[in-house]
Structure 1
Amino acid sequence: MSMKPINNPNEVPQNMTDKESAEYWDTHELTEDFLLNAKPLDESEMPPKRTDAKTITLRMDADTLERLQKVAEMKHKGYQTLLKQFVNERLYEEEKRMHIL
Protein backbone atom coordinates (compact mmCIF):
# COMPACT_ATOMS: atom_id res chain seq x y z
CA MET A 1 0.00 0.00 0.00
CA SER A 2 1.32 3.42 -0.95
CA MET A 3 1.27 6.13 1.70
CA LYS A 4 -0.14 9.54 0.79
CA PRO A 5 2.47 12.26 1.28
CA ILE A 6 1.79 15.28 3.49
CA ASN A 7 3.76 18.35 2.47
CA ASN A 8 2.04 21.01 4.57
CA PRO A 9 0.63 21.08 8.12
CA ASN A 10 -2.66 22.43 6.75
CA GLU A 11 -3.22 19.07 5.02
CA VAL A 12 -3.65 17.31 8.38
CA PRO A 13 -7.29 17.31 9.56
CA GLN A 14 -7.93 18.90 12.95
CA ASN A 15 -9.99 17.57 15.86
CA MET A 16 -9.86 13.90 14.84
CA THR A 17 -10.84 11.23 17.31
CA ASP A 18 -8.15 8.74 18.31
CA LYS A 19 -9.65 6.19 15.91
CA GLU A 20 -9.83 8.69 13.02
CA SER A 21 -6.26 9.77 13.73
CA ALA A 22 -5.03 6.16 13.72
CA GLU A 23 -6.81 5.46 10.44
CA TYR A 24 -5.43 8.68 8.91
CA TRP A 25 -1.82 7.98 9.90
CA ASP A 26 -2.11 4.40 8.65
CA THR A 27 -2.43 5.85 5.12
CA HIS A 28 -0.48 9.13 5.28
CA GLU A 29 3.13 10.09 5.94
CA LEU A 30 5.11 13.29 6.35
CA THR A 31 7.46 14.17 3.50
CA GLU A 32 11.11 15.08 3.92
CA ASP A 33 10.24 18.66 2.86
CA PHE A 34 7.61 18.86 5.60
CA LEU A 35 10.12 17.74 8.22
CA LEU A 36 12.90 20.02 6.96
CA ASN A 37 10.64 23.08 6.98
CA ALA A 38 8.82 22.32 10.23
CA LYS A 39 9.02 24.99 12.90
CA PRO A 40 8.57 24.46 16.64
CA LEU A 41 5.03 24.96 17.90
CA ASP A 42 4.22 27.88 20.15
CA GLU A 43 3.15 26.81 23.65
CA SER A 44 -0.39 28.00 22.88
CA GLU A 45 -0.56 25.55 19.93
CA MET A 46 0.34 22.53 22.03
CA PRO A 47 -2.44 20.17 23.12
CA PRO A 48 -3.19 20.18 26.84
CA LYS A 49 -1.08 17.81 28.89
CA ARG A 50 -2.89 14.68 29.99
CA THR A 51 -2.93 14.46 33.74
CA ASP A 52 -5.21 11.43 34.00
CA ALA A 53 -2.73 8.91 32.57
CA LYS A 54 -1.38 6.29 34.97
CA THR A 55 1.88 4.44 34.59
CA ILE A 56 1.58 0.65 34.83
CA THR A 57 3.89 -2.31 34.56
CA LEU A 58 2.90 -5.02 32.12
CA ARG A 59 4.75 -8.29 31.64
CA MET A 60 4.49 -10.15 28.33
CA ASP A 61 6.55 -12.80 26.67
CA ALA A 62 9.36 -11.69 24.38
CA ASP A 63 7.72 -13.11 21.24
CA THR A 64 4.52 -11.14 21.80
CA LEU A 65 6.48 -7.94 22.44
CA GLU A 66 8.55 -8.44 19.27
CA ARG A 67 5.39 -9.02 17.22
CA LEU A 68 3.78 -5.91 18.71
CA GLN A 69 6.86 -3.81 17.96
CA LYS A 70 7.01 -5.09 14.38
CA VAL A 71 3.35 -4.27 13.71
CA ALA A 72 3.77 -0.84 15.35
CA GLU A 73 6.81 -0.10 13.19
CA MET A 74 4.87 -1.04 10.05
CA LYS A 75 2.09 1.34 11.16
CA HIS A 76 4.62 4.09 11.95
CA LYS A 77 3.57 4.18 15.59
CA GLY A 78 5.17 3.52 18.92
CA TYR A 79 4.42 0.07 20.27
CA GLN A 80 2.99 1.47 23.52
CA THR A 81 0.64 3.71 21.54
CA LEU A 82 -0.47 0.73 19.45
CA LEU A 83 -0.95 -1.39 22.56
CA LYS A 84 -3.17 1.30 24.13
CA GLN A 85 -5.16 1.47 20.88
CA PHE A 86 -5.64 -2.32 20.90
CA VAL A 87 -6.76 -2.30 24.54
CA ASN A 88 -9.22 0.55 23.93
CA GLU A 89 -10.71 -1.13 20.84
CA ARG A 90 -11.11 -4.48 22.59
CA LEU A 91 -12.51 -2.89 25.75
CA TYR A 92 -15.09 -1.03 23.67
CA GLU A 93 -16.16 -4.31 22.00
CA GLU A 94 -16.48 -6.05 25.38
CA GLU A 95 -18.51 -3.17 26.79
CA LYS A 96 -20.86 -3.34 23.81
CA ARG A 97 -21.20 -7.11 24.14
CA MET A 98 -21.99 -6.78 27.84
CA HIS A 99 -24.48 -3.94 27.17
CA ILE A 100 -22.47 -1.51 29.28
CA LEU A 101 -22.58 1.03 26.46
Structure 2
Amino acid sequence: MSKKDSAASVEEQYDERGRLIITDPSQIPENMTEEEVVDFWDKYAMSEELLNESYIEDDDLPPT
Protein backbone atom coordinates (compact mmCIF):
# COMPACT_ATOMS: atom_id res chain seq x y z
CA MET A 1 0.00 0.00 0.00
CA SER A 2 1.44 3.37 -0.98
CA LYS A 3 1.71 6.34 1.38
CA LYS A 4 -1.06 8.07 -0.57
CA ASP A 5 -3.36 5.01 -0.32
CA SER A 6 -2.77 4.68 3.42
CA ALA A 7 -3.53 8.38 3.92
CA ALA A 8 -6.82 8.00 2.07
CA SER A 9 -7.85 5.09 4.28
CA VAL A 10 -7.31 7.04 7.53
CA GLU A 11 -10.41 8.53 9.12
CA GLU A 12 -10.56 12.31 8.88
CA GLN A 13 -9.64 14.11 12.09
CA TYR A 14 -10.44 17.65 13.17
CA ASP A 15 -8.77 19.99 15.65
CA GLU A 16 -10.50 21.86 18.50
CA ARG A 17 -11.46 24.66 16.08
CA GLY A 18 -13.10 22.24 13.66
CA ARG A 19 -10.31 22.41 11.07
CA LEU A 20 -9.48 19.26 9.10
CA ILE A 21 -6.05 17.97 10.12
CA ILE A 22 -3.70 17.32 7.22
CA THR A 23 -0.95 14.73 7.55
CA ASP A 24 1.10 15.11 4.38
CA PRO A 25 2.71 18.13 2.69
CA SER A 26 1.11 17.07 -0.61
CA GLN A 27 -2.25 18.07 0.90
CA ILE A 28 -1.16 21.73 0.93
CA PRO A 29 -1.91 23.42 -2.40
CA GLU A 30 0.91 25.26 -4.14
CA ASN A 31 0.84 28.71 -5.70
CA MET A 32 -2.02 30.06 -3.58
CA THR A 33 -2.77 33.75 -3.41
CA GLU A 34 -2.49 35.41 0.00
CA GLU A 35 -6.28 35.32 0.29
CA GLU A 36 -6.34 31.61 -0.59
CA VAL A 37 -3.65 30.90 2.04
CA VAL A 38 -5.72 32.61 4.74
CA ASP A 39 -8.84 30.73 3.65
CA PHE A 40 -6.95 27.41 3.53
CA TRP A 41 -5.52 27.72 7.05
CA ASP A 42 -8.93 28.75 8.38
CA LYS A 43 -10.19 25.33 7.24
CA TYR A 44 -7.12 23.09 7.71
CA ALA A 45 -4.45 22.45 10.35
CA MET A 46 -1.21 20.45 10.31
CA SER A 47 -0.93 17.28 12.36
CA GLU A 48 1.63 17.29 15.18
CA GLU A 49 3.76 14.86 13.17
CA LEU A 50 3.72 17.13 10.11
CA LEU A 51 4.57 20.15 12.26
CA ASN A 52 7.52 18.27 13.77
CA GLU A 53 8.73 17.18 10.32
CA SER A 54 8.57 20.74 9.02
CA TYR A 55 10.23 22.33 12.05
CA ILE A 56 13.23 24.50 11.16
CA GLU A 57 16.03 24.84 13.69
CA ASP A 58 16.97 28.43 14.54
CA ASP A 59 20.47 27.70 13.21
CA ASP A 60 18.97 26.92 9.78
CA LEU A 61 17.14 30.24 9.47
CA PRO A 62 18.68 33.12 7.55
CA PRO A 63 20.07 35.97 9.65
CA THR A 64 17.70 38.82 10.37
Residue of structure 2 equivalent to 1:16: 32
The one-letter code matched in structure 1 to 2:24 is: N
Q: Could you tell me which runs of 5 or more consecutive residues in structure 1 were left unpaired when the two chains were aligned.
A: 41-101
Q: How many percent identity over aligned positions? A: 28
Residue of structure 1 equivalent to 2:8: none
- Taking only aligned residues, the RMSD between alpha carbons, in angstroms, comes to 1.7
1:35 deviates by: 1.5
Q: Could you tell me which runs of 5 or more consecutive residues in structure 2 were left unpaired when the two chains were aligned.
A: 1-16, 57-64
Residue of structure 2 equivalent to 1:2: 18
- CA distance in structure 2 between the aligned counterparts of 1:18 and 1:38, rounded to whole angstroms: 20
The number of residues matched between the two structures is 40
- Higher helix proportion (structure 1 or 2): 1
- In our comparison, the structure showing a higher alpha carbon Rg is 1
1:33 deviates by: 1.0
